[in-house]
Amino acid sequence: MSPPPNAEAEPSATQVATQAQEMPHASEMPHNASEMPHNASEESLSHWDPTVDDEDMLESVSTFDTVKKLIIEAKKFKSFTSLVHLYAVKSFMELRAKYVDSPRIKNPIMRASRTVAASIGKGPYFARKIRGLHKYIERFHTLPPTNAGRHHAHPSLLNNEGIAQAVRRYLTVLANGEVRKLC
């Protein structure tokens, strides 16, 4: 019985032996990626390489460009606190780049953050905050969410509609100025 015309025939033993002879020995293989020959067979095998992942690669954007974009967005919304933080981070990045080039400065990151904090009248806590914001922006490309107003979301029994109605009924039954003990 002959194989169907669409099916590929398995290679014979002589074909496999010929292909093995054509392949270079491990000692003849180039050690560097730049020495590797570039041909169509390598491109066809690139999908087997687990280190190559085109879909998960994000566009590489510098942190400085991200900070500039965040400043533009903060100006649109007139967010004063965000602008202060972003300008501080921007100044920190510029100053840190200068300090890294100077061999006399031993710890350029600490020195740059403290200098920026002192220049706007803040202390070591704000210097720490600048460094933390820089790390957050570097990782997530945005400012961290604010915690303002979150302390008002405590659970309450009055959120339960049944209890809220019972309290309203009780208060409407009471005469004005009358107070009763519950016990």
What CA–CA distance (Å, rounded) separates 85 from 79? 10
Nearest Cα residue to 113 out of 85, 81, 137: 85
What is the domain count for the chain?
1
165 found inside a domain = no
pLDDT digits 0-9 by tens, 23-53: 555 555 555 444 444 555 555 555 555 555 5
69 found inside a domain = yes
- Domain housing 117: 63-140
71 found inside a domain = yes
40 found inside a domain = no
87 found inside a domain = yes
- Secondary element (H or E) of residue 19: helix 13-22
Q: Which residue has the tokens 């990782």?
A: 139
**pTM of this prediction?**
0.54
What CA–CA distance (Å, rounded) separates 46 from 177? 84
47 found inside a domain = no
What CA–CA distance (Å, rounded) separates 129 from 89? 9
pLDDT digits 0-9 by tens, 137-147: 999 999 999 88
- One-letter identity of residue 164: A
Q: Which residues of 52-73 are buried (b: 16+ CB within 10 A; e: fewer)?
A: eeeeeeeeeeebeebbeebbee
| Residue 101's pLDDT band (cuts 50, 70, 90) | very high
68 found inside a domain = yes
70 found inside a domain = yes
